[in-house]
Structure 1
Amino acid sequence: MPSRISRRHLLRLLLLLAPALPAAATPPLAGLRVVSGDLPPFAIEGQPQRPGVLVEVVEELLRRAGPSPQRVEIYPWARAMQMAANNPRVAILPLTRTPEREPRYQWLLKLYVQHFVFINRGGQPPVSTLEQARGLRLTVLRASPNLAQLQRHGFDARQVVLANSVEDMLRLLERGHVDALYGGDVVNMDKVRSSGRDPAQFQVGLELEAGEVWLATSSGVEDTERARLQELYQAMLRDGSVERLFRAYGIRPREQDLR
């Protein structure tokens, strides 16, 4: 007569013989935080109905990825940089991709190509040559790649004032503390307009460099998640969503700047 099997032992046996159930799949990009600075028109602080074109692009990407879309959080740029550099799954936009930064980040998605120019006050000679620019007092945004760019072209760091925001850069220029600012053409001129300043009082001069701006994070994003972001972005390019968002902010990007 067969021996009796206790209910406890039977349960153990059934668990051993039962096929393993697949673990619940984690939704792609779940728990990903995205931060930025106040960099109009790419990211705009305090304007939930008009938060910035790249903020809207990325929030739409995350909405399409579902199921719990995240809002982009705005901080002072240097703090946003520190958060993304020191914490896994904290992404930042728009981060310029440079040789110095290359090994420190996971580069998730190219968003735009930014053109870096000299801007000075109207009524002064426009900045049109490197030789002329090297004789000027300049300001750049702190924690941006702009100081390194200038130094690669022979500028002395002692002639460059680091500013905490684009607004601070414009104030330094208006008050005569610097002769010109150096930075992204779209960001700086948009700040001129959105702050109520007269764009005719400023002039865009020499373009020194161009740089791709990306959504990036220091660590923690899987290759499959990165591929999903890129797939969704390509779909947005095909259906015209990206171009429509740029045009809504008055920007007519060159086609190669978005791809």
Structure 2
Amino acid sequence: MVIPGTLIRPLLAALGACWALSAAAADINAYTEDLPPLSHVENDRVKGYAAEALRLVAAEAGLSLEIEVQPWLRAYATVRKTPDALLFAIVRTPERETQFQWVGPIGPRRVFLYRLSARRDIRLGNAADARRYRVGALAGSAAFSRLAALDPRREGLDAGQDDAANLNKLLLDRVDLVAMLDWAMRWHLDKLKLPPRTAAPAYLLDGGGQYWFALNPDTPPQRVFRLQKALNRVAADGRLRLLRRRYLGD
């Protein structure tokens, strides 16, 4: 059957409207990055501790949920401009405080500057000492922002698209240090079948942060409150702790 040209444009518009309606059908459209073991795609499903924690909380709150993986900077921008959208897992910082509404925390965050264990020549007494070395960090991350503040010219700072790329640069001696979450370093070394001692922490860059869910500021406050109450319940009864132990081993 040949569709007349005059009908093609209305047909495409109708299909586009259907797709948009389908995407908006969920109560919460959540966006995350590929950051295992917090979130990653496996067999066409978004898995990881943070992703499963969000599913648990949404189900407890009686809200439907769709999760999409995007590059971090795009996910961040998408949630900033999309009502009822949610970004995870994100560190709550003073700079971000008014950009979102917050539900959490869902777990601790420790970011180290890692060196290869064989590189015993690398010594850091404080974070500013990192300026003497080539450092890889995830573009758009809180760790990258902190390192950039220490080195405004960014001569030795390398922005990576993901932790796997940063670790590969470390293994190939393209950088001297990488900033990485301790959970992520263990996960990636195990995935590469490398022993945990391959990389050693050289400095604790950030040990006081927590991971949160962040919602677009135009999200109805009652929905944010509903999610927070659901998170409080699954944390209080131990379900969140069991989930973290299954994915993160702690």
Regarding TM over 0.5, the answer is yes
Question: Which secondary structure does the structure 1 equivalent of 2:47 belong to?
Answer: coil
Match of residue 191, structure 1, among 174, 188, 191: 188
The aligned residue for residue 22 of structure 2 is none
The aligned residue for residue 88 of structure 2 is 93
Cα distance between partner residues in 2 of 1:208 and 1:89:
33
C-alpha offsets along residues 109-158 of structure 1, whole Å, 9 cap, x if unaligned?
Answer: 32222112101112112654226423110010011111221244457522
1:250 CA displacement? 3.6
Question: Which secondary structure does the structure 1 equivalent of 2:56 belong to?
Answer: helix
Please say if residues 108 and 216 of structure 1, whose CA atoms lie closer than 8 Å, have aligned partners that are also in contact: yes
Identity of aligned residues (%): 21
Cα distance between partner residues in 2 of 1:134 and 1:52:
33
Structure having the larger proportion of residues in strand: 2
Please say if residues 120 and 127 of structure 1, whose CA atoms lie closer than 8 Å, have aligned partners that are also in contact: no
| 1:120 is the counterpart of 2:118 | no
Question: Which secondary structure does the structure 2 equivalent of 1:72 belong to?
Answer: strand
The aligned residue for residue 20 of structure 1 is none
Structure having the larger proportion of residues in helix: 2
What's the RMSD between the two structures over aligned residues?
A: 2.2
C-alpha offsets along residues 12-44 of structure 1, whole Å, 9 cap, x if unaligned?
Answer: xxxxxxxxxxxxxxxxx9621111111111102
Please say if residues 109 and 229 of structure 1, whose CA atoms lie closer than 8 Å, have aligned partners that are also in contact: no
CA pair 250-218 structure 1, distance change in 2 beyond 3 A? closer
1:160 CA displacement? 0.4
Structure 1: gaps of 5 or more residues: 1-28, 253-259
Please say if residues 119 and 182 of structure 1, whose CA atoms lie closer than 8 Å, have aligned partners that are also in contact: yes
Question: Which secondary structure does the structure 2 equivalent of 1:157 belong to?
Answer: coil
Cα distance between partner residues in 1 of 2:123 and 2:107:
25
Question: Which secondary structure does the structure 2 equivalent of 1:85 belong to?
Answer: helix
Question: Which secondary structure does the structure 1 equivalent of 2:155 belong to?
Answer: helix
| 1:108 is the counterpart of 2:91 | no
The aligned residue for residue 61 of structure 2 is 65
| Corresponding letter in the other structure for 1:115 | R
| Corresponding letter in the other structure for 2:86 | A
Pair member with larger Rg: 1
TM normalised by structure 1 equals: 0.78
| 1:39 is the counterpart of 2:35 | yes
Please say if residues 116 and 182 of structure 1, whose CA atoms lie closer than 8 Å, have aligned partners that are also in contact: yes
| Corresponding letter in the other structure for 1:182 | A
Please say if residues 59 and 71 of structure 1, whose CA atoms lie closer than 8 Å, have aligned partners that are also in contact: no
| Corresponding letter in the other structure for 1:238 | A
Please say if residues 54 and 94 of structure 1, whose CA atoms lie closer than 8 Å, have aligned partners that are also in contact: yes
The aligned residue for residue 18 of structure 2 is none
Please say if residues 119 and 127 of structure 1, whose CA atoms lie closer than 8 Å, have aligned partners that are also in contact: no
CA pair 231-166 structure 1, distance change in 2 beyond 3 A? same
